[in-house]
């Protein structure tokens, strides 16, 4: 039985097939689980698997997404820069320099309550010189907590250790922390000792028979030969949709439950609605 506010988190959507499997199943997931709000990581949703376009943002919004988060590929498509300047429903990591376009934190309404969402990027093995995500989160929370006590974080990071460390660092201060970026769903969903829902990585929406959504052969050849190869999005089914649902107590801000979800679809196909054209 539903007790609080249910927020659905969708892992990194990769290319047209990832968009297609999301669109096919999102309505049924929302109805089955009585979802109040949806947060999706869209930084790989462009047709080539890198970045996001304004057209893709509108596609996700049309299909019921409240806020779209991102990560290290947010700058891959230059036509998104102006969108970031004028809109707050697409986030870039908050610990990028302040002069970068866009914001890394926003709020939205779900079930009549204000929900906060922060987007952060890790620093370990990420090859970008960013501000400390731990200190950035602390700074943001000083004012975000004046608006709501239901607060979530998408932590786009490479290592499990950095993600878990942030979870314990902020345990009891935020409702939930979900990891993205590695595209492989982890089976460690839990509520931490002080009430924060946590999962190391949500997983992805994209082709199962792939290398995290990309065609297998070029990546394997890169490992074997150490020579550069062009990475291309895999568009052949079967596809998977991965994510998690966190139910929040609107009074305390604690997580009441966290449930991992994964859907396998052998027949999903994409069309022009799922591309950048």
Cβ 121 vs Cβ 69: under 8 Å: no
Q: Going by DSSP bridges, is the β-strand pair 204-207/239-248 parallel, antiparallel, or unpaired?
A: antiparallel
State both tokens at 13.
């959507």
Phi, psi of 64 (to 5 degrees): 95, 15
Biggest alpha carbon distance in the chain?
Answer: 56
Gap between the Cα atoms of 120 and 42, Å rounded? 14
Strands (E), 102-196: 105-110, 113-121, 151-156, 176-180, 190-191
Active-site hit among 25, 73, 156, 181: 73
Phi, psi of 7 (to 5 degrees): -115, 130
Gap between the Cα atoms of 183 and 44, Å rounded? 10
Residue 239: name the closest of 194, 183, 172 by CA: 183
**Alpha helix stretches (DSSP H) within 34-181:** 54-62, 81-86, 133-144, 160-169
Residue 73 falls in the annotated catalytic set: yes
Gap between the Cα atoms of 208 and 215, Å rounded? 10
Gap between the Cα atoms of 20 and 17, Å rounded? 5
Which region holds residue 273: left if phi is over 0, alpha if psi is between -120 and 50, else beta?
A: alpha
Q: Which residues pair with 178 in a beta bridge?
A: 154, 199
Active site residues: 73
């Amino acid at each position: 039985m539903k007790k609080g506010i249910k927020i659905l988190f969708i892992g990194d959507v990769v290319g047209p097939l990832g968009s297609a499997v999301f669109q096919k199943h999102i309505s049924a997931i929302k109805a089955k689980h009585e979802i109040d709000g949806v947060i999706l990581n869209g930084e790989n949703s462009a047709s080539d698997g890198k970045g996001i376009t304004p057209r893709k943002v509108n596609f996700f919004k049309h299909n019921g997404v409240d806020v779209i988060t991102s990560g290290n590929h947010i700058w891959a498509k230059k036509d998104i820069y102006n969108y970031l300047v004028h809109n707050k429903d697409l986030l870039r990591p908050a610990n990028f320099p302040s002069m970068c376009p866009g914001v890394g934190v926003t709020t939205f309404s779900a079930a009549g309550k204000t929900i906060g969402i922060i987007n952060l990027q890790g620093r370990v093995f990420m090859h970008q010189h960013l501000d400390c995500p731990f200190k950035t989160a602390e700074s943001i929370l000083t004012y975000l907590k004046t608006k709501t006590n239901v607060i979530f974080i998408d932590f786009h990071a490479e290592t499990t250790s950095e993600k878990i460390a942030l979870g314990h660092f902020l345990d009891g201060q935020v409702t939930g922390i979900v990891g993205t970026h590695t595209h492989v769903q982890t089976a460690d969903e839990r509520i931490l000792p002080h009430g924060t829902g946590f999962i190391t990585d949500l997983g992805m929406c994209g082709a199962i028979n792939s290398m995290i959504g990309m065609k297998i052969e070029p990546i394997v050849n890169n490992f074997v030969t150490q020579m550069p190869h062009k990475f291309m999005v895999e568009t052949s089914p079967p596809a998977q949709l991965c994510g998690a649902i966190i139910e929040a107590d609107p009074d305390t801000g604690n997580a009441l439950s966290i449930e991992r979800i994964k859907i396998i679809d052998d027949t999903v196909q994409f069309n022009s609605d799922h591309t950048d054209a």
